[in-house]
Amino acid sequence: MKKLICLLIAVCMVTSLAACGNQAQTEVEERIGIISAMDNEVALLLSEVEIDHVDTIGGVDFHVGTLHGQPVVIMRSGIGKVLAASAATAMLNNYPISKVIFTGIAGGVGDETQVLDQVIATRLVQHDCGTITNDGFVWSSGVAEEEMGEKDFYACDPELVDLAFEAAVQVVGKEHVFKGTIATGDQFVSSEEYVQKLQQDFDAIACEMEGASIAAVCTQYGLPFVVIRAMSDKADGNAHESIDNMGDLAADNSSRIVIQMMDAMRG
């Protein structure tokens, strides 16, 4: 009898631990996935969300709750394509996500964009994907055409793009909101010469380090997504100084657009 009691206690303990470990997987209500790379990009959102619980998966905290009436999962992925893709995959594997919004700061590439302007991505591309040859770097998308919404680019969901654009207009004014291509790479761009290359090769109007990797994951999972970026700098020789001075304000503006989107979804 004593052995039986001990066995039952052990089974209960294992079951309890398993339940804790699978807490994220028990979610049944569809939620909006909101992703940022850095603390300052997610700070305002976390101050506004009503948090139900926080799950830690792979070292990333997933804040599950309600943001202005919308069920959400909010997380900070870390900087760069690898961490962003890894965290996004964990989110989609553990929660019933209906759509994904990426919000944060970026460098302005287009001549028309200035610091604190907003860019709503219509499509994204990995600018650093390709082949190193004896003649230098040769770009290629690295993704089969049939897996893309448009050859060599990841197309954002048109309805989410329109929703984000209208929300951005409400937050910063129409003259400060642009739609276009965002180029993603694992480099912080601080070069006028490379800015011109991004313009010429991809018709990009902003550059950053996570968006296309999020787009790749969402495309594989068949989920609609949009990337919203506030310009913290012009990706030129003054980029580091500009992001130090304007980064937090730009990040908050981008978060306010997400909040405005949540309000608009309530009708």
Given a contact cutoff of 8 angstroms between Cβ atoms, the answer to whether 114 and 47 are in contact is no
Given a contact cutoff of 8 angstroms between Cβ atoms, the answer to whether 195 and 127 are in contact is no
Q: Measured between alpha carbons, how far is 63 from 54 in angstroms, rounded to an integer? A: 5
Other CB atoms within 10 A of residue 59 CB: 10
Q: Measured between alpha carbons, how far is 15 from 226 in angstroms, rounded to an integer? A: 39
Q: Measured between alpha carbons, how far is 105 from 20 in angstroms, rounded to an integer? A: 35
If we measure between CA atoms, which residue out of 80, 115, 77, 96 comes closest to residue 29? Answer: 96
User: Who contacts 4 (Cβ-Cβ below 8 Å, separation ≥6)?
Assistant: none
User: Who contacts 107 (Cβ-Cβ below 8 Å, separation ≥6)?
Assistant: 188, 189, 195, 206, 207, 208, 231, 232, 233, 234, 235, 239
Q: To the nearest 10°, the Cα dihedral for 147, 149, 153, 154?
A: -90
R_g of the chain, CA atoms, integer Å: 20
- Residues tagged active-site: 41, 233
